[in-house]
Structure 1
Amino acid sequence: MELSELIEVTRVRDAFMRKGPRPSQIGDICIFGHHLIFAPSAVNAGGKEAITDNSEEFWLLHKAVDRVLCEPISKDNPQRGGLLALKCKNFLIIIFEIGDIEICRATARTIEALSNINGFLHDYAFFYNSPFTILDDGWSAFDPEQEFARLMTSTDAFRISSVNENFTVCSSYPDKVIVPKGIGDDYLKISATFRDGGRFPVLSYFHRETRSPIVRCSQPLIGPTNRRCREDETIINSMITLNRGYIIDTRSKSSTTAAKAKGGGAEPQGNYRQWRYVQCPIPRQREIHDALTKMVDVCSERKISSDRWVGRVGQAGWLSAVAASLGAAANVAQCIYSEGCKEVPVVIHGGEGVDSTLIASSLAQILLDSDARTIRGFESVIEREWICAGHPFSLRNTHCAYAEGTVTGPFESPVFLVFLDAVHQMIVQYPLSFEFDEQFLIFLFEHTYASEFGSFLGNSEKEKKENGIRKKTVSLWSHVHHPENLKTFVNACYHPTPGVIWPSVAPQSIRIWERLFFRWQRSDNSWSKPEAETIQSLSDHWKLREKELIVKASSLRRSIVELARELKVSSPV
């Protein structure tokens, strides 16, 4: 199929951008295979010359569009033209006025078709030519064997296994996994038949200080008949050395019971006697999806009283999902870092093991390990715990808050955004402990839904290999690692915090992510063009001023530390 076959209208002249990422203006809409381009006219709506800052073309990937709406400007007089509304996956809403209603409808149909192509083989990432020189290839930046060597510097209790070569045992795992050293591949294959989706226990993280591993898998398929797998029990029990371990289930008790009736379930205490079973519920996919939809709707509503608005934010459930995710991760970290305890293994699973399980395991690593709070360490967590671990990005992120796919709808959910928001909460509470800022998180959020890079394409490493994604596309990390881009994400106030951080999960500590949910509010049509330009100018000025003050504060802090050291050296014993 050629994308040009879906294009009914290639150019719409004199469209008026009523609402969008810039002040209202007239221009032409040009539609290509992957992009919509809005090219402002030489004159604005008032007949005066357009301001230079707003005369640049605005490019929008069709994949970034979540929902397309079209309606007449006046139902009584269709001849006045139509309104074309594009609701984007990053919560941006663009509204165009088009003089001809039929052209407006044809434009809507075109964008609707181009933004809802099944699969990802026609995505822009396969056609993108990198304008920058790749200095650090992101596809090889996190080699499995190098990651294994970095994790296992203080133990020989685990090994790299090629049991999943060619993805024959588990389609959602990578071809190489880290497993307990004394366990043979034949046991892993049998365990895979006992775990949902074949996701047998694999190492996620090893905490050097306490010599405690975090292992993740999917739910055991015990079913109503209490099926048993001695090989799986051997694998799990082989990790016990000094102390009893913990099995963390990210489902509620009712969800676990319902899963057992359908063939799933949880580890029977009688068969896993050396393990404590703990439930740390994280909302399910559908709950998370509905919570984001409600949250975005509430954040766009500004005409209700503050008391009612706060109540609606709570009822949306998004902040509760973020708090529950942090709480589950904190419980994992507490098991690993219990005072006086060493070698306490933790096994994490939910249902399929590709959603809430990954939230808990990845957030726990950020709590426990200061290296995971650096830019490269954080990328490593995402690469290892999300991309390679089989989170189905293409399926979960087909749509966002405004729409659902006719086929993919039941599987769509902003699970990864919950993870990013939880990290944002950590940054708010520990602003000096992270090498990156919240802008980096927003950048990642946008690229998971629509991107010119291939890192988040596909649902597993198997799909990446079958479709040649690693060979035919550019890695997002290649873009991030370029010096000119990297400096835009660095937290100038960064001061490494060794060891564990313990963020509060109390309701009053969990904040709305303002720069994510409210960042497009400044483009509201209630502002005139001069007002919008003034606000933008002030915003840019204070952002620059904020960075200058942060750099100055960081410099003063280093000076104080150096003076303290000098005084300590010079003072008599």
Structure 2
Amino acid sequence: MELAELIEKSRVDNVILRRGPRPKQAGSLALIGHHLIFSPNPPPGQKPSHDDELWLLHRAIDRVSVENLNKSANASPTSGAHLTLKCKNFLICVFEIANVFDCAAVARSIETLSNLNNRHLDYPFYYQCPFKVLDNGWNVYDIELEFTRLCSILPDRFRISPVNKNFTTCVSYPEKVIVPKGIGDDYLRISATFRDSCRFPVLSFVEAHSKSVIVRTSQPLLGPTNRRCTEDEVILNAYLGNTTKGFIFDTRPKSLILAAKARGGGAEPPFCYRAWSYVHLNLPRINELQESLAKLVDVCGDADANSNYLSRVNYSNWLTHIHSMIHAAGILSQSIKIHNRGATHVVHGSEGLDMTLVLTSLAEVILNPDCRTIRGFQALIEREWISAGHPFVLRCAHSAYAVGTLTGPYESPVFLAFLDCVWQISHAYPTSMEFNEQLLIYLFEHTYASEFGTFLCNNDKERRDLKVREKTVSLWSHMNHPEVLDGFLNPYYRPAQCDLWPISAAQEILLWERMFFRWRINWQDVDAKQQMAANWAARERELQTKLATLLSQQAQNNAMNSAASELQSCDITK
């Protein structure tokens, strides 16, 4: 199938951009396979310039609507209509088109092209990379290097298992996983049959100082019959090492456990897992996050916001959910630091695809300084989200304005919530992250629509089947290019080895204005002031470098003068 066949009207002239990322303009609207292109009319006497065009990926559009300007029953087709495009990054574009029929044809075409279910037709497979790839982003995370780092902390405790080769054991896991040494692959396969979505316990993180361990998994499939799996019990006990006690962090509240058990799931029974203590958290479910985002974006996009704005933001519960995630990550991180004899912490919810990954990722940001660098943060996302099987295609099929017919129950801004939590921590510790909020916003946009293949599929199996690594460009290759990387650097960054304990008081959680008011506020003055401060910070670092050089030279000169004085004294003595 050719994408051109899905376009009913490829070009419309005499279009007016009424609302969007730029002031009101007149021009032409064109549709091609993957993009909508608005070309403004050039000033008199000048030729059209491609630099002035507005390009918008069809995949980035969340909802399309048409509103006739003349609402009477006898309205003429030439009375005109408004084409409203609500995008997944919360941008809203309104085009005025003179002919109602043309407007409707364009709307139907965009609706079809923005909801294609054929992954082979996605833009990353057609994208022609305009820059030279200096750093292959597909190699930003290597399990062999990660295993080497773990061995330096806890030697002879773990091994790399190929139990999931060809994804025969678990579809949502990578082909290689890190598991306890001494546990055979046959035990892992049996444990997979006992865990939801076959996600048996795998190693996630080892804290360097306390040597505490974080393990990821999914809920056990106890069911109403209280099913038991001795192999799974042996695996969890193997993670304990020389310690006698471990902790199971369940992202669900106790009230949901019985309901999960009635559906075939449940939680580890204490009489089978005697060495483990339980911590039940109350993290939001994916449908609750989706509803909260829709309410919040509706409030932030309301041009007629009045005195009940704060109550509406509070009613959305978005900040409440962000607070609960940061608070839970703080509890997990604190437990890791307190139990400095290498305690093991198992984290799971139901499938272990959403809140489990939020919790383990935030704990690593809090405890691991490497995760606060750009490359370390990229590796964290590769390890804890992409390779770990977070279903980006399902979760990010729609954003805040629409719900998919097939994907609706699975859509949720879980990754956006994680990025919001990272922003909250970076706001509290402005010098501790190597990257700025622009990088977080950039990641958010590319999870929903991108020319790169990094977030293209639900799991590594789909990426292998579609040959994503061979046929598309990695987002990290683009971000790590020197010309691009500069825009993501935090000018106030000062490397620090300390932990970043988040302020988890509810009143300290802020609305991320740059994310949710990005298209409502003119940020030029803010950007100018930030650039000025960044220039002064760069100047300060330059002067500090010169001072360090001068002090070093002075110390060398003093040493040479001292040596010369000693030689002179020896000569006089002789």
CA contact 1:280–1:327 (8 Å) conserved in 2: no
| CA drift at 1:276 | 0.8
CA distance 1:312–1:566, change in 2 (3 Å):
farther
Q: Is 1:406 aligned to residue 405 of structure 2?
A: yes
Cα distance in 2 for partners of 1:54, 1:543 equals 30
The equivalent residue for 1:527 is none
The equivalent residue for 2:286 is 285
Matches within 5 A, 1:343-362: 343-362=342-361
Q: Deviations over 1:21-58 (max 9, x none)?
A: 00000011110000011110014xxxx78999997011
Cα distance in 2 for partners of 1:442, 1:482 equals 18
The equivalent residue for 1:504 is 503
- Which of these residues, 526, 533, 542, is aligned with residue 546 of structure 1? 533
SS at 2:137 equivalent: coil
| CA drift at 1:509 | 1.0
| CA drift at 1:120 | 2.1
The equivalent residue for 2:564 is none
User: Structure 1 stretches of 5 or more lacking a match?
Assistant: 523-534
Q: Judge which range, 540-549 or 506-515, deviates more.
A: 540-549
CA distance 1:456–1:566, change in 2 (3 Å):
same
| CA drift at 1:540 | 5.2
CA contact 1:152–1:206 (8 Å) conserved in 2: no
The equivalent residue for 1:532 is none
| CA drift at 1:140 | 2.1
| TM-score normalised by length of structure 1 | 0.92
Matches within 5 A, 1:373-388: 373-388=372-387
Q: What fraction of aligned residue pairs are identical, expressed as a percent? A: 51
Q: Deviations over 1:387-429 (max 9, x none)?
A: 0000000111010000011011111111100100000001100
The equivalent residue for 2:54 is 58
Q: Deviations over 1:470-509 (max 9, x none)?
A: 1110011111111111111111110012131101111121
Q: What letter corresponds to residue 23 of structure 2 in structure 1?
A: P
Q: What letter corresponds to residue 24 of structure 1 in structure 2?
A: K
SS at 2:26 equivalent: strand
Matches within 5 A, 1:230-309: 230-240=230-240, 241-306=242-307, 308-309=308-309
Q: Is 1:105 aligned to residue 92 of structure 2?
A: no
Cα distance in 2 for partners of 1:443, 1:433 equals 19
Q: What letter corresponds to residue 40 of structure 2 in structure 1?
A: P
Cα distance in 1 for partners of 2:462, 2:473 equals 16
Cα distance in 2 for partners of 1:50, 1:505 equals 56
| CA drift at 1:553 | 5.3
CA distance 1:539–1:492, change in 2 (3 Å):
closer
SS at 1:246 equivalent: strand
The equivalent residue for 2:200 is 200
CA distance 1:54–1:324, change in 2 (3 Å):
farther
CA distance 1:381–1:57, change in 2 (3 Å):
same
CA distance 1:313–1:561, change in 2 (3 Å):
farther
SS at 1:153 equivalent: helix
| CA drift at 1:538 | 4.3
CA contact 1:282–1:356 (8 Å) conserved in 2: yes
Q: What letter corresponds to residue 65 of structure 1 in structure 2?
A: I
CA contact 1:6–1:113 (8 Å) conserved in 2: yes
Q: Is 1:364 aligned to residue 363 of structure 2?
A: yes
The equivalent residue for 2:68 is 72
CA RMSD of aligned residues (A): 2.4
CA distance 1:280–1:81, change in 2 (3 Å):
same
Cα distance in 1 for partners of 2:60, 2:47 equals 27
| TM-score normalised by length of structure 2 | 0.92
Cα distance in 1 for partners of 2:422, 2:47 equals 38
User: Structure 2 stretches of 5 or more lacking a match?
Assistant: 559-574
Q: What letter corresponds to residue 66 of structure 1 in structure 2?
A: D
Cα distance in 2 for partners of 1:324, 1:202 equals 25
Q: What letter corresponds to residue 164 of structure 1 in structure 2?
A: N
Q: What letter corresponds to residue 37 of structure 1 in structure 2?
A: I
Q: Is 1:518 aligned to residue 517 of structure 2?
A: yes
CA contact 1:354–1:392 (8 Å) conserved in 2: yes
Q: What letter corresponds to residue 332 of structure 1 in structure 2?
A: L
Cα distance in 2 for partners of 1:392, 1:386 equals 9
CA contact 1:39–1:55 (8 Å) conserved in 2: no
The equivalent residue for 2:566 is none
Q: Is 1:458 aligned to residue 454 of structure 2?
A: no
Q: What letter corresponds to residue 406 of structure 1 in structure 2?
A: T
CA contact 2:248–2:347 (8 Å) conserved in 1: yes
Cα distance in 2 for partners of 1:55, 1:497 equals 42
CA contact 2:292–2:316 (8 Å) conserved in 1: yes
Q: What letter corresponds to residue 252 of structure 1 in structure 2?
A: P
CA contact 1:442–1:516 (8 Å) conserved in 2: yes
The equivalent residue for 1:314 is 314
| CA drift at 1:541 | 3.4
